[in-house]
Amino acid sequence: MTLLIFLIGLAVGSFVGVVIHRLPKGEQFVSGRSRCPDCGHALKWYDLVPVLSFLILLGRCRYCRNKISWSYPAIEICSGIIVAVSFFFLSPYGLAYWLFWVFILESFLILAFIDLKHFILADSVMVVILAAFACYEIWGGKVAGAGSIFSFGNLANAVLLFLIFFLIWSFSNGKGIGLGDAKLAGLLGLVFGFWNSVFILYLAVIIGVAVGLILIFSGKGSLKTKLPFGAFICFSAIVSTLFNYGVSERIAEFFRQLIFKVNLF
């Protein structure tokens, strides 16, 4: 069953990859044949089998033999992991709850890979995430531990986190973080709540530092190397959600107690 769910996730990832590669170009991603970005040759169905086609073709186009971007199988594998792991942790709370989070996490995956490739965070995807939360709550669904996006508290969380990141962006003249990061921080505060957002952002910083150190010590980067912090935030949000029913809730509680210095032990 887990393998079947993972394979379904790979198939979903194939579509997600199309969105990631076409959305920044303003291209239609709902319909239209997939083509090689180099030679423009229309791809057959056997060229599009998730991950397997990439391995069989040794990472090259069947028709022009140019290299296929590593991002295609990476997106598919990430999607497979998201669908399979979320099924394990979230499906016990109901099919609708699981499918809702699959949609949200795949949307964060789209944001992450677009930021990795283009250093932009698509406003349209963030609007879709916000709309999905609103529709789910209006429909009657409840997101555990996040509160209502229509509540004054979550709105205040969004404004606070946006302002913090906006000020960093403003005082650094856009060199520290991008304005998209500020919008994303505000979105986190609105849909996840303050403390869950603090944990997500803290984990994103850890991921960013780790990636930066790897680039520096491998000689492929320096202290001036630009990093896609928005992508780290999105990956952190995915990890936090997948393991929210356990680890991250306890860590978020630790931060809450640490800041207020009460009942730390």
Whether 65 and 132 map to the same domain: the answer is no
Average pLDDT, stretch 106-132? 95
Sign of CA dihedral 106, 125, 197, 73: positive
Average pLDDT, stretch 223-229? 86
- Which position has the token pair 């150190």? 213
Whether 8 and 23 map to the same domain: the answer is yes
Whether 87 and 182 map to the same domain: the answer is no
Whether 153 and 43 map to the same domain: the answer is no
Whether 140 and 232 map to the same domain: the answer is yes
CA-nearest of 137, 114, 136, 89 to 23 is 114
Whether 126 and 244 map to the same domain: the answer is yes
CA distance linking residue 123 with residue 117, whole number of Å: 16
Q: How many domains does the chain have?
A: 2
CA-nearest of 160, 133, 163, 162 to 148 is 133
| In contact, 51 and 141? CB cutoff 8 Å | no
Alpha helices in the chain (DSSP H): 2-22, 52-56, 71-90, 95-118, 123-139, 152-171, 179-192, 194-217, 229-242, 249-260
CA distance linking residue 232 with residue 116, whole number of Å: 9
**If you average pLDDT over each of 184-188, 215-219, 243-247, which comes out highest?**
184-188
**For the chain, what is the mean pLDDT?**
85
Percent of the chain with pLDDT over 70: 89
Whether 127 and 258 map to the same domain: the answer is yes
Structural domain including 16 reads 1-93
- Which position has the token pair 């609105």? 190
Domain boundary among 93, 114, 130: 93
Phi, psi of 67 (to 5 degrees): -65, 140
Whether 236 and 263 map to the same domain: the answer is yes
Domain boundary among 93, 125, 148: 93
- Which position has the token pair 């996040």? 146
CA distances from 204 to 44, 176, 186, 255 (A): 39, 14, 15, 15
Percent of the chain with pLDDT over 90: 46
What pLDDT sits at residue 247? Answer: 46
Whether 55 and 119 map to the same domain: the answer is no
Whether 80 and 101 map to the same domain: the answer is no
Position 20, amino acid: I
CA distance linking residue 82 with residue 62, whole number of Å: 29
Whether 175 and 245 map to the same domain: the answer is yes
Domain boundary among 69, 93, 117: 93
Whether 69 and 108 map to the same domain: the answer is no
